[in-house]
Structure 1
């Protein structure tokens, strides 16, 4: 069994205050590696407590570490050290999850004026996860998500189990490739109760910082942190991108 933990960055809606992007990052972990990964995450969190004073039970939330809105416990840690927590996390992820793979979807909303961005991004992610399960893992898998539109995602996944048209490489047509290696509907997990969901939150946010670097944060080098994940990126997810990021 394999597990795909997923978190998002940005807003799939199209309204006045929506973000210009929608990102999904998924971390694939084999069942046999899960316990060791959790143990290593706990060790990392102990080191964060020793070095920065962040309690092991306090959620790591990437955007809050950069700019505090809700997690007031972060106020005891100065901003430079909060960003260093993110940098340390980015450095550790390829070692903690050395046998895992990361899939990334990054869509610029303006490039898909007619599309449902939520469905488009999730269909791309589920398709690539199912392909990985069939061709690489030769196994079945589950999906665990943080806070998202779970009913809409459930309906999308159920539809893709039956009908999932894929463009043919040999002609202008398509063929049906149901995503039948993903079991059950997606499971929701509160991020403050899961180190794994917190990990994909960091991955997704650092991809956002890479794609849309903010001038005021450039002095911290946040736009370079995502590249640390290169050893475990599923680059076959997109042949058109050197890091395998799916952009269309």
Structure 2
């Protein structure tokens, strides 16, 4: 079992799905994927991922600067469209992303999966999901001895995320272990405002995108055609990279996936 080193933690976050409900194009879930790394190891891991992308370029002709998203791999669209890759090749690309994280001792992943029922939509669903992510990062940083945490996320909801981060720094709560309501757990270790980055320019945010999609499919497997590319057990293949402390021990449930019935 690998350990997350204490210190300054960088948390890269990307989302899968939307916060709507009942519309023709609405997704089944709204999911946040999170990749956590100690900043001391960031440069070395980046160099290794660059080499990984070079191998993908050599084998599949995918340009180094092309953004890779789980949906592109699933459907053969986006930056992969002109390559006409087979389902088997796209499955290999998805698994290789999971394998890279699983085999790197400095990378850790978890996810928040909100399954929609119509109870929460729009900003409510957004806020509830992100608050759960902040809670787990706060608990993790505190358990490591007050490690500091900085968030880096895909651009698009910058103002909403910034407001929630500032609120969390002062007013975040968590469930009491005695079951007697909520207790104050302000996220004091959260430093600065979250940083917004274009996912096209961040390999780490792209890693978080793959994690978000794998977590979603762990709970909602999809059709046989989907599972040819992303099998239901793809999330489990992250192995020791799964930040299991965010969910504790839950018999029969996947590690490191925080669930929300929305």
TM-score of the pair, normalised by structure 1: 0.91
Gaps of 5+ in 1: none
Matched pairs, number = 246
SS in 2 for 1:207: helix
- In the TM superposition, what is the alpha-carbon distance from 1:221 to its structure 2 partner? 5.2
**Which structure 2 residues correspond to residues 94-243 of structure 1 after superposition, within 5 A?**
94-96=102-104, 98-110=105-117, 112-113=119-120, 116-136=124-144, 138-215=146-223, 216-220=225-229, 222-239=231-248, 240=250, 241-243=253-255
2:10 paired residue number: 3
Say whether 1:246 aligns with 2:253. Answer: no
Distance 1:202 1:171, change over 3 A: closer
Q: Decide whether the 8 Å contact of 2:14 with 2:154 is kept in 1.
A: yes
**What is the CA RMSD across the aligned residues, in angstroms?**
2.0
Gaps of 5+ in 2: 1-7
Distance 1:152 1:227, change over 3 A: same
TM-score of the pair, normalised by structure 2: 0.87
1:159-210 Cα distance to aligned partner (Å, 9 max, x none): 1212123222225232211011011111111111111111111111122222
Taking the aligned partners of 1:148 and 1:230, their CA distance within structure 2 comes to 31
Distance 1:106 1:221, change over 3 A: closer
Distance 1:68 1:147, change over 3 A: farther
Distance 1:175 1:194, change over 3 A: same
After TM superposition, the structure 1 stretch with the greater mean CA deviation from structure 2, 165-174 or 231-240, is: 165-174
